[in-house]
Structure 1
Amino acid sequence: MRTSNLLLCLVFFTSAIFAQQKAAQKTSGNPIFPGWYADPEGAIFGREYWVYPTYSAKYKEQVFMDAFSSKDLINWTKHPNILQNKDVKWADKAMWAPSITKKDNKYYLFFGANDIQNNDELGGIGVAVSNKPEGPFIDHIGKPLIDKFHNGAQPIDQYIFNDKDGQYYLYYGGWKHCNVVKLSDDFKSVVPFPDGSTYKEITPENYVEGPFMFMRNGKYYFMWSEGGWTGPNYFVAYAIADSPIGPFKRIDRILKQDTAIATGAGHNSVIQNPKTKEYYILYHRRPLGETNGNHRVTCIEKMEFDENGYIKPVQITFEGVGASKL
């Protein structure tokens, strides 16, 4: 009991120190909030920024998801247990890489669970729903949305994208393969493309995992992670296309580790302040000296473009970004 109380006091003390440091600083700092968190999905709802990450721990301990909100990118509020495996009867472990969207005044959280290795295992990509961005979220379908390997893609690392015509697409895939599917209006099934295909492979060169999509000036920017997530050779690369289904020809790598700051930088998302038009890239990295693969933290940097619309290489920092209100 004494050991348990001591640990609780230590956690409280560490969080208090982190909060004091935040109050005194003029930039977000990196990491932007304490704790082991990876695969951050950024979103903007109303006048608040939101981040939905993976709780970075052993697979059997990944049975819940937390979220974080901020009005200025500097001060963050934690919303614990927004989704738990007890509310998803088929999810047992490895709840990963949440992706969120708002539709018809409801919030839909897409997530991976169970890290299935073949088509005989139960798991894959699920959908949860809530009336609030902080949850609580409950299972939307009662079973996985995608529970099989198609085109060699492990059903993980999902990203929900709303195209300019209102059609929702889901990009996903591990094991060096990436698929895109069209979603039904109720997010309970996938629907065929005009050519009759359902699971369309769009894997670009060197793709490994972590797909992400955004639009800028009428172009589709597709991003992904390369290398291995537990090691130093983890990067973010991108392509630009005229269509949400590509083709996606790899342009370059724009985010990587800096051995003077952190290692294993990857699995990103992007948000844009609609007032200032500034772009920010959220990603995870491993602090220097950490050898545990799960010891990853969530960070943020400004992301800029050159005169031709190409993404400039992002320098990872300890400072992060300045205050930005919506």
Structure 2
Amino acid sequence: MTEYVNPVYPATFADPFVLRHGSYYYAYGTAPGGADGRAFPVLRSPDLVSWEPLGYALVPPGGHDFWAPEVAYDDGMFYMYYSTQGIEGRDHQLRVATSADPAGPFVDAGVVLVPDQPFSIDAHPFKDDDGQWYLFYCVDFLELEDDHRVGTGIVVDRMTSMTALEGKPRMVHRPHEDWHLFLKQRTMYGNVYDWHTVEGAAVLKQEGRYYCFYSGGAWEKENYGVSYVVADHPLGPYRRPEEGGRALLMSTLPGHLIGPGHNSFVASPGGDETWIVYHAWGPDRAGRRMCIDRLRWEGGRPVTEGPTATPQAAPV
């Protein structure tokens, strides 16, 4: 393929995460479940553009509303981190499932990763150069501190194994901007708040610094977009870019791609390019579909032309 046009897959495929393993890319996303009762569609591609469906990846342990799968590979095993609600009557909780094959089936390990939180979503496993794994994920914050707003934010914890956390989470980023608004006068936890959201962490290391990209705003609206914070260590502290105040990496392309976000990153087939993989609504609002665009660095800052809706040069 010499060119592509977004979206690169025609069906609903929200929260896309792409794992490169061997000579293939595997994509996992949030979408309605399969006829076999499994959750999370899985796709395979040799080039990030042509995708074939492989069925559904997760054998559900119960529950419903399966969200935002991400897969890590470690010591011959694949680990899928995801959230679901309804198990033991609880709201969304982070869980982990394992498989010997990137296409699955993934079988739940029987572990709730953050049992002390009433709500946890959007797990993002990150492996540092020294081999240490960290898990970035989202929880709710009801306290007003500094200029932070009430709502969903991102924390990070050290992983003691692929199925356990140290239990010492540190705050990465909380909503603080008007564009982070999810819903005014939202009833939550027995009270009413102007609820703000930052979610969908994805981490890249660049020149010794850690960039935690996030999506902010309301996932179904035009204000949803991608920005980032920066730290010198995976555990932080994370600082905001000086030019903040808007979605710095990606925002709605009116009339074409609406609410781009919840992204992952992956290298091109040749390994010389970094690509951002994200979802966006089309004008028909029929579903969030998977899109890709190049990421580059200018003066130490991440830059992309996306979201794009015209023919682009394919990954090389």
* TM category, shorter: 0.7 to 0.9
Match of 2:18 among 36, 42, 62: 42
**Gapped runs of 5+ residues in structure 1?**
1-24, 193-197
State the shift of 1:271 in Å.
1.1
Residues 115 and 156 of structure 1 are in contact (CA less than 8 Å); yes or no, is this contact kept in structure 2?
A: no
Instruction: Give 1:299-310 correspondences, 5 Å limit.
Output: 299-306=291-298, 308-310=299-301
CA–CA separation in structure 2 for the residues paired with 1:319 and 1:148: 46
Q: TM-score, normalised by structure 2?
A: 0.80
CA–CA separation in structure 2 for the residues paired with 1:123 and 1:176: 13
- Aligned partner letter, 1:149: Q
Aligned residues: CA RMSD: 2.4
Residues 135 and 158 of structure 2 are in contact (CA less than 8 Å); yes or no, is this contact kept in structure 1?
A: yes
Pick the structure with more helix per residue: 1
State the shift of 1:176 in Å.
2.1
After superposition, give the CA deviation of every residue in 1:134-157 in whole Å (9 maximum; x if it has no partner): 0111012x132223328xxx3101
What's the secondary structure of 1:44's corresponding residue?
strand
In structure 2, the partner of 1:250 is: 240
- Aligned partner letter, 2:291: C
State the shift of 1:323 in Å.
3.5
Q: 1:107 to 1:136 in 2, by over 3 A?
A: same
Q: 1:254 to 1:50 in 2, by over 3 A?
A: same
CA–CA separation in structure 1 for the residues paired with 2:269 and 2:45: 15
CA–CA separation in structure 1 for the residues paired with 2:63 and 2:57: 16
What's the secondary structure of 2:112's corresponding residue?
coil
Q: 1:281 to 1:319 in 2, by over 3 A?
A: same
Residues 28 and 73 of structure 1 are in contact (CA less than 8 Å); yes or no, is this contact kept in structure 2?
A: no
Matched, 1:67 2:17: no
Q: What percentage of aligned pairs have identical amino acids?
A: 28
State the shift of 1:240 in Å.
2.1
Match of 2:124 among 129, 154, 159: 159
In structure 2, the partner of 1:322 is: 313
Q: 1:56 to 1:279 in 2, by over 3 A?
A: farther
In structure 2, the partner of 1:280 is: 275
What's the secondary structure of 1:180's corresponding residue?
strand
Q: Greater CA deviation, 246-255 or 233-242?
A: 246-255
Matched, 1:147 2:122: no
Instruction: Give 1:1-326 correspondences, 5 Å limit.
Output: 26-55=2-31, 64-85=39-60, 88=61, 91-114=62-85, 121=90, 123-140=92-109, 142-149=110-117, 154-174=119-139, 175-185=151-161, 187-191=162-166, 198-206=168-176, 208-251=198-241, 252=244, 253-273=248-268, 275-290=270-285, 295-306=287-298, 308-319=299-310, 321-324=312-315
**Gapped runs of 5+ residues in structure 2?**
140-150, 177-196
- Aligned partner letter, 1:199: P
State the shift of 1:248 in Å.
1.5
CA–CA separation in structure 2 for the residues paired with 1:28 and 1:190: 40
In structure 2, the partner of 1:3 is: none
In structure 1, the partner of 2:146 is: none
In structure 2, the partner of 1:14 is: none
State the shift of 1:26 in Å.
3.4
CA–CA separation in structure 2 for the residues paired with 1:131 and 1:36: 26
State the shift of 1:233 in Å.
0.7
- Aligned partner letter, 2:253: D
